[in-house]
Structure 1
Amino acid sequence: MTPSTSAGPVPAPAPPLAARAASVGSSPVREILALTERPEVISFAGGLPAPELFAAQEIRAAYDGVLADEPRRVLQYSTTEGDPALRAAVAGRLAARGLPTGPDELVVTTGSQQALTLLATALLEPGDTVLVEDPTYLAALQCFGFAGARVVPVRSDDAGLDPVALAEAVERERPKLLYLIPTFQNPTGRTLPLERRRAVAEIAARYGMWIVEDDPYGELRFEGEPEPWVAALPQAADRTVLLGSFSKVLAPGLRLGWLRAPAALRRACVVVKQSLDLHCSTVDQAAAARYLADNDLDAHLARVRDAYRERRDALLGGLAAALPPGSTWNHPQGGMFVWARLPEGADATELLHDAVARDVAYVPGAPFFAGPADPASLRLSFTTHSPEEIREGLRRLGGALRAGTR
């Protein structure tokens, strides 16, 4: 019998959320960013590009140009694969950097984050195994969690993914794919050397495994020589998907990225994308293509790299005074992040409360681990603030950590 009151039948409760929606938590990084939105907070937390370095006037001119010249086209629906001119421009940049690519080998996505979702949907059945570096990009862990995958961490060290550990994990787990960020990794800033990239490619070829190579930071190199993409190595060229993004090199608000994949997988990703959003914004793609045609992105990137190098050096130069004795940190050759570790027994998550109270913030390292977390680790982003603000932030951070580790 249906329950009722004097006002009539009592409505039945709505059906529950899908199990995957309840099992995957929200991003701790996003929650920390919400805590640090006060303008007085100096935040080393978010991986946010410096807004004062955006090519705002040039981007505006690109929008003005396409809206003036082609309003009917750029305000209309378009193809799922993406704007032909934008794909041609991306293909040209990839070829110039040593990876011959045709426009038809690319799919434009809503940031490289959507590319991960497309791949997870096209490749993974619930229960499939995914291998990841440990630690790794937090949103990738969320994405694979929503797909119902079983995520297995692979041991990493200061040079990135350990090929011996990878071979052992592949032999033991028989995964469907490996996800890695080989250049200026998030969260650690590490770069995988060439011999390890070759080993990864050989293992993937030997055991039959997909590689998802995420490269949002590769063009932000300050020093040293660039390493080739894993996708460019012949051993794994037929099984490597390369992801890229305009978020770190142009502006994240555009929400434009791309994937380069073998034909069958690329076609599957196009079908998945049709079900998600039909296609990326037509006008945004057209404006990005116009910007690339009318401006020198490499000259813009040179200015960005110069600024970020100075900010990285300001951060590295002040860590010895800011972190407690016994702390360690790395020296990334590019990207956006420094990975640090407090002395044994310290808990970066607990200490964050003291830091925020002093108007400074960072991201604890624990959420980035797929395996047992290292509570003493933390990620520091150096791109958002000027060198002067970084030095002041380190002064505040030092006060908070000294108070919290007594």
Structure 2
Amino acid sequence: MTLTAPTPTRSPAPQLAARARSVGGSPVRDILAVTARPEVINFAGGLPAPELFDAEAIAAAYQAVLTEAPGRALQYSTTEGEPGLRAALAGRTTARGLPTGPDDLLVTTGSQQALSLLATALLEPGDTVLVENPCYLAALQAFGFTGARVVAVPGDEHGLDPEALAELVVRERPKLLYTVPTFQNPTGRTLPTDRRAAVAAVAARHGLWIVEDDPYGELRYDGERVPWIASHPGAEDRTVLLGSFSKVMAPGLRLGWLRGPGELRRACAVAKQAADLHTPTVNQLAAARYLADSDLDAHVARVARVYRVRRDAMLAGLPGALPEGSVWTRPEGGMFLWASLPEPYDTTALLPQVVRHDVAYVPGAPFYAGPPDRTTLRLCFVTQTPEEIAEGLRRLGEGLRGAAPGV
């Protein structure tokens, strides 16, 4: 007798978690995938210029730690981070006006992980988070995954409005405020000192956490450095300062850090244990060795000189590229500027037509927590040479002139 195996019944696989279904991917990443062709001049990314990486000195740092202490470099490490790296970071932070010890810091796998850890440690579904308007896109994703309610704080060309912040804190009872106050992504604007002091005072008065993200602050081209919000009276016990080597050393190292009060920092360390145990040891040791053997400040100054020329090239070319009536920011540093086209231009609808001219930008709409301004767009000016920027803006102008504004 021949036995026939029964045909198995198939039920659908269980659904994804609600947070995975409700939070979309990054439009920036999607645009980069579509515009990966080498002929495209891509103003859409947030990529540092690779030709400016201090590759030789970074390679020497890796070589040194792998030669001198391979067992340690390739081994597990503590969740909080390598002591030598934390000591070096604490020294740099203290030298910039914020007294910091090694134990005040948690090393993270890029500052993006720090955002995720803070969201895990602080937010329950339904909690309210206040953000700038517009806001760093990946922060909106991180908060969205927790089920938090994200509310934008009104502002102007100088950044968020502290009076509007105070009103929202009373009305919404938020858990935290997230801000990139220096050379903000996406706008490039910098919050003035008086507003920073006012934000610190609001947080002190109402018991608000401040998450101050500073990935771009060292890339200053004009003007004087503005002290961190974390250094203002009232902010000491309620501000978490995030930093990163991605924009000043190399993003592939995936090294960031979190400076914050002890109880919250320890909660983030527990969340990090569940996420990845620790940031790769060899990367941490190599970064510490680089800081000991090389002059990072001199390297950053060299990079900033090049980036300033590229920013100026983009500012010089924008009047001929954008429609009459457009306005844009003039950032004192960082990597981005923000433009608004006149009505009825819709930069999301226009992007596919512009990409046909082998140039790309990021539409502004995804950066808004609330109703978006569809006339806006973000341009990154650091990755291309001045000549490439000029050609890219020529293509951008051609693409915009050849398209119907509202299409």
TM-score by length of 2: 0.98
Which residue number in structure 2 is paired with residue 268 of structure 1?
Answer: 267
Which residue number in structure 1 is paired with residue 198 of structure 2?
Answer: 199
Counterpart Cα distance in 2 of 1:206 and 1:40: 53
Counterpart Cα distance in 1 of 2:210 and 2:65: 37
Which residue number in structure 1 is paired with residue 101 of structure 2?
Answer: 102
Counterpart Cα distance in 2 of 1:278 and 1:66: 21
Q: Deviations over 1:235-273 (max 9, x none)?
A: 111100000000000000000000000011011111110
Counterpart Cα distance in 2 of 1:349 and 1:183: 26
Identity level (%): 71
Q: How does 1:385-404 map to 2 (within 5 A)?
A: 385-404=384-403
Which residue number in structure 1 is paired with residue 356 of structure 2?
Answer: 357
Counterpart Cα distance in 2 of 1:14 and 1:343: 48
Counterpart Cα distance in 2 of 1:147 and 1:256: 23
After TM superposition, give the deviation of residue 8 of structure 1 in Å: 2.2
Counterpart Cα distance in 2 of 1:344 and 1:168: 30
One-letter code aligned to 1:105: D
Counterpart Cα distance in 2 of 1:342 and 1:312: 19
Which residue number in structure 1 is paired with residue 36 of structure 2?
Answer: 37
Counterpart Cα distance in 2 of 1:13 and 1:294: 57
After TM superposition, give the deviation of residue 9 of structure 1 in Å: 2.1
After TM superposition, give the deviation of residue 7 of structure 1 in Å: 4.2
One-letter code aligned to 1:136: C
One-letter code aligned to 1:265: L
Q: How does 1:57-206 map to 2 (within 5 A)?
A: 57-206=56-205
Contact 2:201 2:233 in 1 (8 A): no
One-letter code aligned to 1:283: V
Q: Deviations over 1:280-334 (max 9, x none)?
A: 0000100111111100001100110000000000000000000010100010000
Counterpart Cα distance in 2 of 1:161 and 1:258: 25
SS in 2 for 1:59: helix
Which residue number in structure 1 is paired with residue 242 of structure 2?
Answer: 243
Which residue number in structure 1 is paired with residue 215 of structure 2?
Answer: 216
Q: Deviations over 1:83-116 (max 9, x none)?
A: 1111111111111111110011000000000000
SS in 2 for 1:244: strand
Counterpart Cα distance in 2 of 1:281 and 1:317: 42
Which residue number in structure 1 is paired with residue 286 of structure 2?
Answer: 287
One-letter code aligned to 1:353: P
Counterpart Cα distance in 1 of 2:293 and 2:126: 47
SS in 2 for 1:404: coil
Counterpart Cα distance in 2 of 1:56 and 1:236: 38
Counterpart Cα distance in 1 of 2:9 and 2:404: 55
Which residue number in structure 2 is paired with residue 320 of structure 1?
Answer: 319
Unaligned regions of 5+ residues in structure 2, if any? none
After TM superposition, give the deviation of residue 17 of structure 1 in Å: 0.6
Counterpart Cα distance in 1 of 2:360 and 2:222: 27
One-letter code aligned to 1:152: V
Q: Deviations over 1:16-72 (max 9, x none)?
A: 110100000001110001111111000110110000000111111100000000001
Unaligned regions of 5+ residues in structure 1, if any? none
After TM superposition, give the deviation of residue 10 of structure 1 in Å: 1.3
- Deviates most, 5-14 or 281-290: 5-14
After TM superposition, give the deviation of residue 165 of structure 1 in Å: 1.0
SS in 1 for 2:154: strand
Counterpart Cα distance in 1 of 2:355 and 2:248: 29
One-letter code aligned to 2:165: L
